[in-house]
Amino acid sequence: MSESRGRSQGDTPEQPGGRWLSIDAACRILGVDQSTLRRWSDQGRIPVFRTPGGHRRYNEEDLRAFLRGETRPRRRMSRQVLTDLSFSGYEAGYLHQARSRPWYNAYDNAQIDELRTLGRRLVELAVRTIAGRGDRDQLLDEGRRIGRRYGSISAAAGLTAPDAVEAFLFFRTPVIQAVTRFIEEEDIPPNRALRIFAEMTQFLDQVLIATVAAHADAAD
């Protein structure tokens, strides 16, 4: 659960080497309309990233190089970009769906703030897990601790166990979408892609189990 009731995280991934721009801003630099830029992107002439929400983001340096007639090497996505893409999944439209659900409104502002902090850390742990960075057991232990805190907070807010599970699954979705985008952008071989999804699913499932267990303990 990575966001608050207020403004969502920025939807431009942070990476050294230029600002990330919306399609409107990119079109202004290039002097073309959106359909032309989309066509060039689909043809591979201009690198593009898509946020989990489906929005296109362009690197300003890539656009300037295109105008100069230069061919830039294909941009590689770092762990930080993948993390930022996960955060960007919690855009206004997606969060609006959460706010319309009873379980979201059961949390008070202090609980939402804590869930946001825990959610950001959980995204970082998930990314480190699939990237093979850090001790897996330690990452999983911390993920379970976050899950237990999720469960305790949800129980304190008066959520039922099914509501707590629904909330977890809802806010897990942008992480999965970001990993899918990572696999597509990096042209990761199918065997490795399957391994990445298996590791991510195993990690998040263990966090969910810890959430349910903590909710049950708090409800007793």
pLDDT digits (tens, 9 = 90+) for 149-175: 999 999 999 999 999 999 888 888 777
Check residues 159 and 130 and name the one with the higher pLDDT.
159
Which carries the bigger pLDDT value, residue 85 or residue 8?
85
pLDDT score for 212: 97
Q: Which pLDDT belongs to residue 79?
A: 57
160 domain residue, yes or no: yes
Read off the pLDDT of each residue in 96-117 and give the average, rounded to a whole number: 86
Distance CA 71, CA 76 (A): 15
Q: Quick check: 209 pLDDT over 80?
A: yes
- Report yes or no on 107 lying in a domain: yes
Q: Is residue 180 part of a domain?
A: yes
Structural domain includes residue 110: yes
Task: Please check whether residue 195 lies inside any domain of the structure.
Answer: yes
* Average pLDDT for the chain: 79
When pLDDT is averaged across residues 56-82 and rounded to a whole number, the result is 71
Which range marks the domain in which residue 171 is found? 79-219
108 within a domain of the structure (yes/no):
yes
Our count of domains for the chain comes to: 1
Any domain includes 29: no
Q: Is residue 132 part of a domain?
A: yes
pLDDT for the residue numbered 6: 37
Reply yes or no on whether the pLDDT at 113 is more than 80: yes
Q: Is the predicted pLDDT of residue 11 greater than 70, yes or no?
A: no
